[in-house]
Amino acid sequence: MDLLPLLLLSLSLLLPLSSGEISQKLGVCYGQLGNNLPSPSKSVHLLKTLKAERVKLYDANPKILHALKNTDLQVSIMVPNELLVNISTNQTLADQWVHTNVSPFYPQVKIRYLLVGNEIPSSNDNKTIFSLVPAMRRIRSSLKSHKFEKIKVGTPLAMDVLQSSYPPSNGTFRSDLSGPIMKPLLQFLNRTKSFFFIDVYPYFPWASDPEHIKLGYALLKAKNITVTDPGTGLTYHDLLDQMLDAVYFAMKRLGYPDLRIFIAETGWPNEGDFDQIGANIYNAATYNRNVVKKLTAKPPLGTPARPGKVVPAFFFALYNENQKPGPSTERHFGLLYPNGSNVYPIDLSGETRVREYEPLPIPSNNEPYKGKIWCVVAEGANLTALGSALAYACGQGNGTCDPIQPGGKCFKPNSLVWHASYAFSSYWAQFRKVGGTCYFDGLAVQTIKDPSHGSCKFPSITLTSVGK
C-alpha cells in the first residue's frame, strides 16, 4: 500500500520527459527583415528576458544558430521556399542542405523542428506547391540518414488553405488542395508523428468584419459573447478556438482526426495605418497576454472540439521589422522595439497573471477612421530610391501622373519630393482596391493632412467604413 503513492509520484516525474515535444512551452518567431535589429547574441538574451522557451527562424542563419548553442531554447529552422522545387527531385541536394545547415549545430543547438517552406499553398506557384510534400519527404530521409531522427519535419500553412471555416464543424480544405496536396501532407505528418503547423491570426477576420465579429471575442476577453456551432452544439468563447477547430474538422474530414496542431504564428499588430482598424498597443498586449494565459493553463484547456489538449505556439514576432513590405501592420507585430525595449511587458511563461501588469494606453483606433487619407513621401526618404519609385508609380498608366508633367496643375514646385508625393497619392487612390499599397519600399506614408497646394489637388481615398 505504501508503495502506491511513490509509484504514482515516479510516473508523474517521468511524464514530462516522455511527452516533452508536446509541452506547453511558448516561443517567438525571430524575423530578420529590419536594418536596425540587435545582434544574434543580444537577441538570444532578449528571448530569455521574455521567458520564451522556443524560437522559430525563417532560415538557418548560422550566426543566429551559433548564438543559440548550449542554450535551453528549442529551435525551429526553415528550408527557404525557393529551394523546394530542386530539393523535391534531388536527394543529394536535400542531404547537402541538412549537412550544411543542421550538422554543424545539432545537438548543441536544440533543433526540434525543420520546417520546409513557409505558407507554400498560399502562393500562386503551382510548381512549388506540388513540390512541397516531396521536398518534405526528401528532407526527412536526409535527417534519418544523418541519424537526426528526433527532429520533426513540418511546414507552416496559412488559414487560406481552408475553403470553409464557419461554423468550425464545416471546416474544409480548399478543393484545389484537398486531394493533391493536403491528403499526402496529412498522411506524411501522421506517419512521422509530426505537427500540423498553422498560422492563426484572429486580427484579420475581425478587422475585415468588426460589425459582426466583436472585438472582445477576437481578443479572448469577452465575458458574455459566445458562438454555438449548430453542427456540433459546441460553444465558443473566443475566435482563436473557433479558427483552430475549423482546422481540426478539416483534417478530420480527410481522415486524420488525431493530428496535433502547432500554432506556427499568432499575434496582433501594435500599430497600423489610418485605414487599419484596431492595430494598437492595448489590443496587441491584451490579445497576446490572454493567449499566453490560455495556452499555459494547467491542466491544459485545449479547444471545444479537443478539450484538454496542449496547443504549442510561437508568437509573431520578436521585433517590429521595418523592412517588411505591405501595410504598416506588417512592420508592427513585434513584442520588442529594435532597441530591445518592450512594446509592452509580457511574460511567455504564464507566471505573471494578466491583472498584475500595469494599465495599458487607451486605444484610439478601435473604430474605423472616417475621412480622407493621402499617401506622401516619408520623412528622410532616400532620393535615389525615390526617383525609381516615382517612375514606377507613373508607369502604371491611367493618367496617374499627368498633372505633374510640364504645364500640368501640379508640376510646380518642380521638385522630386513634390512630384513623388503626388504620384504616390494618385497611384494609391487608383490601385488600392486591387492591392496597391502606400508603402513603396518604405518611401511612403499615409497622412490625414491634405498635402494639396493652390490649384493642385492631390487624389485621396475616403473611408466610410472598414476597408472602404
Active site residues: 119, 265
Residue type, 212: H
Cell matching residue 158: 496559412
**Nearest Cα to Cα of residue 400 among 419, 376, 379, 381:** 419
Please give the Cα distance from 379 to 287 (Å, whole number). 32
String of b and e for 262-295 (b: at least 16 CB within 10 Å)?
bbbbbbbbbbbbbbbbbbbbbbbbbbbbbbbebb
Q: How far apart are CA 373 and CA 446, in angstroms?
A: 7
Query: φ, ψ for residue 461 (rounded to 5)?
Result: -110, 150
CB 201 within 8 A of CB 267: yes
Element (H, E) at 47: helix 40-49
Are residues 319 and 254 in contact, defined by beta-carbon separation less than 8 angstroms? no
The residues near 46 (Cβ < 8 Å, ≥ 6 apart) are 38, 318, 336, 340
CB atoms within 10 A of CB 407: 7
Rounded distance between C-alpha atoms, residue 404 and residue 275, angstroms: 26
